[in-house]
Structure 1
């Protein structure tokens, strides 16, 4: 069903709208759809679908070790309000990247949209490798990225800008339309700024896998915070970054924050052991760690991330939503996503007003989660 109408809803575009009705025709937001099925959304909220720029896997599936599981995860993500995401391939043999590119290019996914890959590695600083296998790290090489482009399924690349020849890769990727993000890096403030000037426009999971912010050596984190061109990925799970620091950064730079989950195979699963690439993680009490104690992704769902930001910052929903919608969409150059506007794809989430729990999710006007609940609200 790609044509329908909502009545009596509270609508955020992500700004709070005066409108109380919303029409969808042929999978897009429309001015009217008078003959379409109608649903009464009294006491419910309609918002743009959430976009996750960094997701390593979920539901027991790890994208790096088995890229063919991307489709299975896409089908399950609407329960968390996610309507679009970047499957993230961590540092691994380039053959795994090629396999993931092939899966994405073949498409034919159901559920959340796959916007392309986020390649987190292999051009990372070994000193800040985090959970990445050091044996798979590589020096920057133009030959290695020969096929990396949006047309070939690659949308975003994380690299360490201080590495030798990284500047050549940054320029080449930017020229192809790939977004470049700095991460897993020991870059100084000056090295980070040089990378930004070469075309880097994002920083991967701010504060994690980079030197701590210091008042005399601000490093990559300080450079990102001070440069208005940079979108900063942030993991608000209370493990990767303290809630108090999230609150401080939010109130000073929320217009440049893209909330990410950085979730891995344990998302939606019980505690236990899971793969991240070729590394086994132990997940317990909301944390995922390698055997050496290093953090390795999260178990954070995007709807929980939204609730965390609301609780920690006491910000109204219209100020929170851009970090989950328009900001990531704009970073990728996909401004028709992340906003409720006439002719934009009808990728929507319906929340309850009190707790921001997901009631239903639509992708391209199709109800991909919560259809039974909505059927009980027919006009």
Structure 2
């Protein structure tokens, strides 16, 4: 990141720092931290850039646990695009994320690890990649979704010996019912990797075994997993029945019916439901043809699909996901913001995002009137507005 910016003073703004909301307050940022939050008119700071923010809502910075690419670039096809895409994500309100590598040859994952470990170019500013989310290749073929079948494989410890947070791997999605999967879950979790259940045909009993082995998350609930049946609740039922196991949810109104979103919200609430975009290269781009790993995807205004019609990630803007969650569930704005902040931080074991003295100055700014993204602050830098 660049040198520390000049102090920023937001005047007369609204602060949402789940579970709290404060109206008509001033917020002072300096040295990459929140220095003070006080009633409007109570703060002064020499040399601060003063912003009249009565029309804004300030929230902690948003964290997306599943981004495959954006702005025309795909991390699996071109891992070196990571820092370029990350520099543009603040336009969407994202301040931190997990670049997601879908099912691919082992060399692709190694290349992505090397790029993450090398760090950003000089002078870079952008959303912080917190490590990689490796989605595959240990997925059930019947629930592969948009993953290339030629690269699917059974769990193999030799494949993952270099997968741990110090080497850039933060999360792994796998199908826990595959032979050898539970042993792999135990191995990865012992190294500090978050292991998630996804692209799975797991039964209820197999899901319980996965939780016992160390699975602590569910990747894009409902999508690409055995559905609920009253005599075999499957992976969906198992995840919904565990309030302590957080899940990701793509709330674009296409991947998941609004009624199913409402059910998930009732089961999980604001601290165990994480909004995710599952964004593909078409996010932030006009309709057209793009790539997702080895495959061509067709992007329209609101969705991305393979030529056979299979959903292939999304083009969901994070602020639309926030508004959809509120519309589908009647969630309050405070609780909906938690699904972009507190809930994903909890999944990764990060400090609770907050706007309070001493907290990191990573903020997402919303227009008060329509809840669209107005700007983003990263380590005290106003990087987009």
TM-score using structure 2 length: 0.93
Cα distance in 1, alignment partners of residues 356 and 166 from structure 2:
26
Aligned pair in 2 of structure 1 residues 189, 2: CA closer, same or farther (>3 Å)? farther
Cα distance in 2, alignment partners of residues 51 and 2 from structure 1:
25
Gaps of 5+ in 2: 37-42
Task: Report the Cα offset of residue 176 of structure 1.
Answer: 1.1
Corresponding position of 1:62: 74
Q: 1:321-360 CA deviation, whole Å, 9 max, x = no partner?
A: 1110011011101125x32232221110111111011111
Corresponding position of 1:17: 22
* Residue range with higher mean Cα deviation, 302-311 or 180-189: 302-311
Corresponding position of 1:105: 117
Gaps of 5+ in 1: 371-379
Corresponding position of 1:39: 51
Contact conserved, 1:71 with 1:110, CA < 8 A, in 2? no
Matched residue pairs, number? 369
Cα distance in 2, alignment partners of residues 228 and 262 from structure 1:
22
Q: 1:237-276 CA deviation, whole Å, 9 max, x = no partner?
A: 1111011221232233223100100010000111111100
Aligned pair in 2 of structure 1 residues 4, 128: CA closer, same or farther (>3 Å)? same
For the residue of structure 1 that corresponds to 2:339, the secondary structure is: helix
Q: 1:195-228 CA deviation, whole Å, 9 max, x = no partner?
A: 0111110000000001121111110110011112
For the residue of structure 2 that corresponds to 1:324, the secondary structure is: coil
Corresponding position of 1:172: 187
Q: 2:325 aligns with which of 309, 316, 319?
A: 309
* Residue range with higher mean Cα deviation, 170-179 or 250-259: 250-259
Corresponding position of 1:6: 10
Corresponding position of 2:90: 78
Q: Does 1:366 align with 2:384?
A: no
Q: 1:140-168 CA deviation, whole Å, 9 max, x = no partner?
A: 11111111111111111000000111111
Q: Does 1:123 align with 2:134?
A: no
Runs of 4+ in 1 over 4 A off after TM superposition: none
Aligned pair in 2 of structure 1 residues 266, 214: CA closer, same or farther (>3 Å)? same
Contact conserved, 2:61 with 2:364, CA < 8 A, in 1? yes
Cα distance in 1, alignment partners of residues 118 and 7 from structure 2:
27
Task: Report the Cα offset of residue 60 of structure 1.
Answer: 0.5
Task: Report the Cα offset of residue 37 of structure 1.
Answer: 2.3
Corresponding position of 2:369: 354
Task: Report the Cα offset of residue 362 of structure 1.
Answer: 0.4
* Residue range with higher mean Cα deviation, 339-348 or 64-73: 339-348
Contact conserved, 1:13 with 1:48, CA < 8 A, in 2? yes
* Residue range with higher mean Cα deviation, 83-92 or 311-320: 311-320
Contact conserved, 2:243 with 2:268, CA < 8 A, in 1? no
Task: Report the Cα offset of residue 319 of structure 1.
Answer: 1.3
Task: Report the Cα offset of residue 22 of structure 1.
Answer: 1.2
Cα distance in 1, alignment partners of residues 356 and 62 from structure 2:
15
For the residue of structure 2 that corresponds to 1:264, the secondary structure is: coil
Cα distance in 1, alignment partners of residues 342 and 119 from structure 2:
24
Q: Does 1:162 align with 2:177?
A: yes
Contact conserved, 2:286 with 2:301, CA < 8 A, in 1? no
For the residue of structure 2 that corresponds to 1:250, the secondary structure is: helix
Q: 2:35 aligns with which of 27, 30, 35?
A: 30
Corresponding position of 1:278: 294
Q: 1:12-68 CA deviation, whole Å, 9 max, x = no partner?
A: 112213671112121011137722222221132111111100000011100001011
Corresponding position of 1:373: none
Corresponding position of 2:262: 247
Cα distance in 1, alignment partners of residues 6 and 24 from structure 2:
21
Corresponding position of 1:374: none
Q: Does 1:147 align with 2:147?
A: no
* Residue range with higher mean Cα deviation, 284-293 or 173-182: 284-293
* Residue range with higher mean Cα deviation, 134-143 or 83-92: 134-143
For the residue of structure 2 that corresponds to 1:169, the secondary structure is: helix
Q: 1:257 aligns with which of 273, 276, 290?
A: 273
Cα distance in 1, alignment partners of residues 144 and 210 from structure 2:
19
For the residue of structure 2 that corresponds to 1:20, the secondary structure is: strand
